[in-house]
Chains A and B, each alone.
Chain A
Amino acid sequence: KQEVTQIPAALSVPEGENLVLNCSFTDSAIYNLQWFRQDPGKGLTSLLLIQSSQREQTSGRLNASLDKSSGRSTLYIAASQPGDSATYLCAVRADDYKLSFGAGTTVTVRA
């Protein structure tokens, strides 16, 4: 059974600092990994999708890396802003259809 762990569970930084969010998974046989953002009481917004053959993916201030063999992914958010405050979830697709999620990292960016 695929287990996904996100560390830390919560993070508070001053505006302008770079954010580093970690995700680890137990079974390296994955198809892809997806990072999501979730605002309180809302659904999930897809941020980045990394295929198993890729090492990293970038979108604006976001950069995600994937080390499949060691079962790790890292999401970097450059120059954080108060609007980046949210919970960030990583999910791996190990089956053809099912996503396995971590519990998320709750980020607070202080103005």
Chain B
Amino acid sequence: DTGVSQNPRHKITKRGQNVTFRCDPISEHNRLYWYRQTLGQGPEFLTYFQNEAQLEKSRLLSDRFSAERPKGSFSTLEIQRTEQGDSAMYLCASSLESMSTEAFFGQGTRLTVV
């Protein structure tokens, strides 16, 4: 069991640049989630996929954010024209398709926009 893997672990970018993060879920998990966490707060839901279908997007996910999960495997989260307010920890999680299932999180990608 390799767990949920996220890359990169850290990203520093200049304001206005585009960034892309990758998440590799646990292989048999068909659900994949993205959350964002700012300092001192709990994670906030951004979006989730069931297989390759993106089924829900939070209002936190502005038009500058886009997420994909081609072929229902890994997922990417892209932020275009980054702003300083985008600085946060971006967490990916995966689970089986069941309301009673446990969610497993990756190590996160720490984004700093300067």
Say yes or no: is A60 at the interface (Cβ < 8 Å to chain B). no
CB-based contact A44/B48 at 8 Å? no
Interface residues on B, range: 20 to 34
Say yes or no: is B25 at the interface (Cβ < 8 Å to chain A). no
Taking the nearest CB of chain B, how far is it from the CB of A104, in angstroms? 6
Q: A43-B91, A44-B91, A89-B42 are in contact. Are A99 and B106 (CB under 8 A)?
A: no
Say yes or no: is A25 at the interface (Cβ < 8 Å to chain B). no
A-B pair count, CB < 8 Å, reads: 62
The answer for the CA separation of A35 and B50 in the assembled complex, in Å, is: 23
Instruction: Label chain A's interface by main secondary structure.
Output: strand
Contacts of B42 in A (CB 8 A): 4, 89, 91, 101-104
Interface size in chain A (residues, C-beta < 8 A): 25
Name A42's contact: one of B45, B48, B102, B108 (CB within 8 Å).
B108
Q: Report A's interface with B, CB cutoff 8 A.
A: 4, 31-32, 34, 36, 41-46, 49, 51, 89, 91, 93, 96-104
Task: Enumerate the 10 nearest inter-chain pairs by beta-carbon distance, A residue then B residue, closest first.
Answer: A101-B42, A44-B105, A43-B107, A43-B108, A31-B99, A49-B102, A43-B105, A98-B45, A103-B42, A101-B43
